[in-house]
A and B are shown apart, each in its own frame.
Chain A
């Protein structure tokens, strides 16, 4: 999975009929310091993510392993909303540099 931030929504009436009812959110990829990278995906939302939220996105055929996206033409799904990141190693390395 990768870290992303929901930055928008895609509305589409004319689409594969299996996708009726799907919520497409535009998710920009983030690096570990939560800086936005210039790479994004359009992902189907399965957890009720809102704009501005930091989320986790699963891609590839794994994204079809939810009740809603099963057997549907989907290759990216938002499967978690991130509460907290805990990058222990990064803090450790920063402390070493300061010594």
Chain B
């Protein structure tokens, strides 16, 4: 699982049929001190997140598990919205 900040949406009407009415969000990966750690990615949103919110997301083929369909080409999906982060660093 990774931390990220939702920074926008992607609209795509023409997509793989199983991905109909799924929200595609731009996510900026961050670390526990909210610093940007990697290139932004696009993830399917399953937690109802919006731009500006801190979320956590999963990648690789497990990303399809929280989706209502069990077979879709998705390699990142947002699974939760973060309330607060406590870290020792």
Interface residues of A (CB under 8 A from B): 1-3, 31-32, 46-48, 56, 58-66, 69, 77, 79-90, 92
Say whether B74 contacts A86, CB under 8 Å. Answer: no
- Dominant SS among interface residues on chain A: mixed
* Most A CB within 10 A of own CB, among B5, B6, B26, B52: B26
Say whether B74 contacts A83, CB under 8 Å. Answer: no
* A contact residues around B24 at 8 Å (CB): 1, 56, 80
Min Cβ gap A21→B in Å is: 17
Q: Which residue of A lies closest to B44 (CB)?
A: A1
* B contact residues around A87 at 8 Å (CB): 7-8, 26
Given contacts A1-B42, A1-B74, A82-B11, contact A65 B64 (CB under 8 A): yes
* Interchain pairs with CB closer than 8 A, number: 113
User: For the complex, what is the distance from the CA of A87 to the CA of B12, rounded to whole Å?
Assistant: 14
Say whether B7 contacts A89, CB under 8 Å. Answer: yes
User: For the complex, what is the distance from the CA of A22 to the CA of B13, rounded to whole Å?
Assistant: 23
User: For the complex, what is the distance from the CA of A82 to the CA of B15, rounded to whole Å?
Assistant: 8
Min Cβ gap B65→A in Å is: 11
Which range contains the number of B residues in contact with the other chain?
20 to 34
Residues from 34 to 84 in B contacting A, C-beta threshold 8 Å? 39-43, 51-52, 59-61, 63-64, 71-76
The answer to the question of B16 belonging to the interface, with a C-beta cut-off of 8 Å to chain A, is yes
Sample of 8 further A-B pairs with CB below 8 A, known A63-B75, A82-B11, A89-B52: A60-B60, A62-B61, A62-B64, A66-B16, A79-B15, A83-B14, A88-B52, A89-B28
Given contacts A46-B16, A79-B16, A80-B19, contact A58 B8 (CB under 8 A): no
Say whether B11 contacts A83, CB under 8 Å. Answer: yes
